[in-house]
Amino acid sequence: QRQVAHRVALLPQSPRAPEAVTVAGLVRYGRHPHQGLLRQWSREDERAVRDALAATGTTELAGERLDRLSGGQRQRCWLAMVLAQHTPVVLLDEPTSALDLGHVVDVLELVRKVAASGRTVIMVLHDLASAARYADTLIAMKDGRVVAQGPPKEIVDEALVKELYDLEADILRAPGDACPVVVPRAHG
C-alpha cells in the first residue's frame, strides 16, 4: 500500500476526517506515506503541506477546524491533502458533488492547474457540462462500458447525450473556445 501511495493519491467522493481535525492536520495526512521508522516529519514534508495549502488557497484556513468550513472550503482542503501527497497520479471521485456553481468552478480550475503542473488527473464527474469544459480527454461510460472517448469537442454531441442519459439535447458551442455546452430539450 505504501508503494502505491507514493504513485497514486485518491480523493473519494465522501471522504471522512477525524473529528475536530484542523485544516493543517488534514493536509499533513497526505504526507503519511512518506513517513516511517527511519523517516520522520521533515522540512520537505512541511514544505509540501505549505505548498499544498497555498495552491488551494487554504493557507489562511490552516488553523481552522475542517467541520466548521463551507462545503467548497472543505473540498479545497481535501484537495490540498491529496496535493501534499506528491504523487504523479491523482484520482478524484466526484470532487464537485454537492457544491454550488461558484465552488465547482473553483475546484475544477484548481484541478486544471494540478494537471498543468505535470500530474495525471483522472476524475469521475457525472456533470457532462463540467467534464466537457475541463477535461483534456473524456471517457463516457454507461453500465460499466465505454461508449465514447476522446477530446470533448470531438465526442460530445446529441447522440452521446441521448445514449448516456436517454435525453434529447442541443449542443451549443461556448463563445471563445467552442467548448460543448449541453442544453436539454424541454419535454412536450
**Mean pLDDT, each 10-residue run in order, the chain (188 residues):** 83 86 94 77 91 93 94 90 94 88 88 92 92 94 96 96 94 93 86
Domain covering 1-124 assigned CATH 3.30.70.1140 in the classification? no
Instruction: Please enumerate in sequence order all residues whose Cβ is within 8 A of that of 173, keeping only pairs 6 or more positions apart, or say none.
Output: 179, 180, 181
Find out whether 124 and 42 touch, Cβ atoms under 8 Å. Answer: no
Find out whether 23 and 63 touch, Cβ atoms under 8 Å. Answer: yes
pLDDT of residue 50: 96
Cα end-to-end distance, the chain, whole Å: 53
Cβ count within 10 A of residue 33: 18
* CA dihedral of residues 50, 119, 156, 96 (deg, nearest 10): -30
pLDDT of residue 3: 78
Count of all residues that appear for the chain in the document: 188
User: What span, in angstroms and rounded, lies between the C-alpha atoms of 161 and 167?
Assistant: 6
Residue extent(s) of CATH 3.40.50.300 domains in the chain: 1-124
Q: What is the edge-to-edge ordering of all strands in the sheet holding 120-124?
A: 8-11, 89-93, 120-124
Instruction: Please enumerate in sequence order all residues whose Cβ is within 8 A of that of 149, keeping only pairs 6 or more positions apart, or say none.
Output: 137, 138, 139, 140, 155
Global pTM?
Answer: 0.84
- What nine digits make up the cell of 136? 483534456
- What nine digits make up the cell of 161? 447525450
pLDDT of residue 37: 66
Helical H segments across the chain, by residue range: 2-5, 23-29, 43-55, 71-84, 101-116, 128-134, 152-155, 158-165
Find out whether 90 and 82 touch, Cβ atoms under 8 Å. Answer: yes
Helix (H, G, I), strand (E, B) or coil at 4: helix
